[in-house]
Amino acid sequence: VFLLDDQSIPPDDRRLVLYAGAQEQPLTETGVGIRFGDPAWVRLNGYGLPQTARPGGSLLVALEWESLAPVTQNYQVFVHLLDSSGTKLAQRDGQPVLWLRPTSTWQTGERIVDRYGLLLPDDLPAGDYRVAVGLYDPATGERQPSSAGPGDFAIELGPVWVENGSNQ
């Protein structure tokens, strides 16, 4: 199941939650091996990402994390859709596995498959886009460094080609 949207609707703040479950996004890219944390406490082993998407549709992203060491902090994952200039056009943030597996519960050596869904804007132009993934402390907003390179706090997955036309 992929969480697509979670919001409160005024005037009485009813909660609207939208999930996608009909399509399974397999882990197609393996051996990624990017570590996060200083010292490193988690590794992104693989991910699944469709090659194409449509404006107004959903982009389903599957991530496979492996715990390298225990942590007491509950970090959140961010998944961002970026254009060629690095502008964020869609995002999903949350604790792993629909808030059911906080990082403080991960056991060393455990692998966790984590899924996120991004709602794409209806007016998203056709073209190549990237998906950025990382972890951060929700209390401070501080991102966990990655082993991708000095100063890198996210890794980019993709590309994803957005086709012409609406999904509706």
Domains in the chain with CATH codes:
25-162 (2.60.40.770)
pLDDT at 166: 57
pTM of the entire structure? 0.84
Q: Residue 40 is inside which H or E element, if any? A: strand 40-48
pLDDT above 60: residue 95: yes
DSSP-assigned beta bridge partners for residue 88: 82
pLDDT at 25: 61
pLDDT above 90: residue 88: yes
Higher pLDDT, 54 or 10: 54
CA distance 2 to 23: 9
pLDDT at 22: 46
CA distance 86 to 76: 21
CA distance 156 to 88: 12
CA distance 17 to 6: 4
* Mean pLDDT, range 87-102, rounded to an integer: 94
Number of residues in the chain: 168
The encoded tokens of residue 147 equal 């082993």
* CA 13 to chain centroid: 26
105-158 per-position pLDDT tens digit: 999 999 999 999 899 999 999 999 999 999 999 999 999 999 988 888 999 998
